[in-house]
Structure 1
Amino acid sequence: MCLSQSTALFLDFDGTLVEIADHPHDVVVSEFLPPLLVQLSRKLDGRLAIVTGRSIAALEALLGPISLAIAGSHGGEFRPAADAEIEPLAAPLPGAVVDELNRFARASGGLLVEPKPFSAAIHYRHHPEVLPNLRACTESLAAEFGLAIKHGKKVIEVTMPGSDKGSAVERFMALPAFDGAIPIFIGDDVTDEDAFAAVRRYDGEGVLVGAPRPTAATSRLDGVAEVHRWLEAGLEAVHKGDFRP
């Protein structure tokens, strides 16, 4: 895996830039991370984007107002550059879907429902025994409302169709600022697989964070701390040529 001045760098957030927490609001953002990302984006002429399942508002509640390109809600909302307006690309999720997930959560011992503008996630980390019933519930909602289902680490998310991290990467790569760049996508979860496949279509590279598993990624970093080290080293590397972990 090489990072150079011709790289377009795409980064997942949870499990990649920050450790996963029991509650999405409880993640810890290292103090050095926001300025590191902004500096690296400038070195890459703005070709750094966070591509996350979180909404852009939820991400900036953790990072602060940050001068970066971002695709939020699995690509359902899109900010093409640091100073650009947010573009909603999906229809809002029907309120009845969130209501039904909340009813299921209460009946299943108090699962955590995380509403988002274009999706809703239900976390079952502390109640893995409910997974079969949760699958049935979300599949029923998907059939009734025409939704897509995304499976993550101890979470299932129902989303408006047409939004995924692969399409977000492709939307960025179609922008003049990203044209001709070699993309790298770094992520940890199965929801990142669409993006791993997308960067390969541009002769780029997917980088899996965490333990080995079947994946479309072609490189791997052991965890969040190693991602941080790789990004820090990359700040200097873009001046010199290539950086290899």
Structure 2
Amino acid sequence: MPLPTPPPTLLRDAALFLDFDGTLVPIADRPDAITIAPGLLPLLERLQAALAGRLTLVSGRAAADVRRWIAPLEVAVAGSHGLELGTKTAPRSAALEEGLRHLRGLQAEHAGVLLEEKPLGAALHYREAPGAEDACRAAVTRVALSTGMEVQPGKMVFEIKPADGDKGTAIQTLMQRPDHAGHRPVFIGDDLTDEHGFAVVRDLGGSGILVGEERDTAATHRLRDVAEVHRWLNDACEEMS
């Protein structure tokens, strides 16, 4: 059965968690090529006020990178798939540094492959080099095995990240904060990496909203694309005003 469109009343008394790429901004060929719609920052500001601060961006990007794109607006960010929750990041291990050298070499060998280095891991994007998919998968698998990290597939990307957390565990942690406790969690996301978050908000009695095409998912509602996400969030703000 197709997932229904969420009602605009869904955000009343909610704690809202938003993915970034593919949810708030359209996915671009390169992470640094995204565009921020003129109305996005005012919309996030309105949401933050309407929800009394219960708004967090939960992104696969490094937290500092997300903050750079939304500056000067100050919104809570859980970066690196929720593994960055504002705590000081530990130095990279020698094994990870060696793994990054291997991934840099693969990037140099395959035109169009982009290595995105993050505080807690890395991502190999092959959107501009689809023929390099198998090489990227093999490379990140090798690095994951040598570092004790895990591979996280995404849309035209393979990532390595610590195995002790994901977007779902980040949402669980945030929901324990005094200003979030007792509120209903709502998470909006588009990628396979967002399924952890959908499962957690479902288990906490909340709602997950999938952005994009129908698929097997733990989400309970669906919006077609980024533009519809913006329209729905604007409608939800109107309902809360």
Contact 1:75–1:89 at 8 Å: present in 2 too? no
1:108 maps to 110
Contact 1:13–1:51 at 8 Å: present in 2 too? yes
- The structure 2 residue matched to 1:10, chosen from 17, 22, 37, is 17
**Separation in 2 of the partners of 1:182 and 1:23?**
34
**Separation in 2 of the partners of 1:90 and 1:75?**
15
* C-alpha displacement of 1:206: 0.7
3-state DSSP of counterpart to 2:81: helix
2:115 maps to amino acid: V
* C-alpha displacement of 1:65: 3.3
2:175 maps to 173
| Structure 2 runs not aligned, ≥5 long | 1-5
Query: Aligned runs of 1:14-53 on 2, under 5 Å?
Result: 14-53=21-60
Query: Aligned runs of 1:115-194 on 2, under 5 Å?
Result: 115-194=117-196
**Separation in 1 of the partners of 2:40 and 2:69?**
11
Check 1:231–1:73 CA distance in 2 against 1; reply closer, same or farther (3 A cut).
same
3-state DSSP of counterpart to 1:236: helix
CA deviation vs aligned residue, 1:170-191 (integer Å, no higher than 9, x gap): 1110100100111111000000
| Structure 1 runs not aligned, ≥5 long | 79-85, 240-245
3-state DSSP of counterpart to 2:28: coil
* C-alpha displacement of 1:96: 1.6
Question: Percent of aligned positions with the same letter in both sequences?
Answer: 43
3-state DSSP of counterpart to 2:187: strand
Contact 2:112–2:128 at 8 Å: present in 1 too? no
3-state DSSP of counterpart to 2:16: strand
* C-alpha displacement of 1:215: 1.0
Check 1:204–1:67 CA distance in 2 against 1; reply closer, same or farther (3 A cut).
same
Contact 2:198–2:218 at 8 Å: present in 1 too? yes
Check 1:92–1:177 CA distance in 2 against 1; reply closer, same or farther (3 A cut).
farther
* C-alpha displacement of 1:3: 2.4
RMSD: 1.5
3-state DSSP of counterpart to 2:152: strand
**Separation in 2 of the partners of 1:237 and 1:48?**
17
CA deviation vs aligned residue, 1:118-152 (integer Å, no higher than 9, x gap): 11111011222222222222111111110111111
1:159 maps to amino acid: K
- Report whether the alignment pairs 1:56 with 2:58: no
TM-score, normalising length: structure 1: 0.90
2:116 maps to amino acid: E
Which segments of structure 1 move beyond 6 Å, counting only runs of 4 or more?
A: none
Contact 2:113–2:132 at 8 Å: present in 1 too? no
* C-alpha displacement of 1:110: 4.3
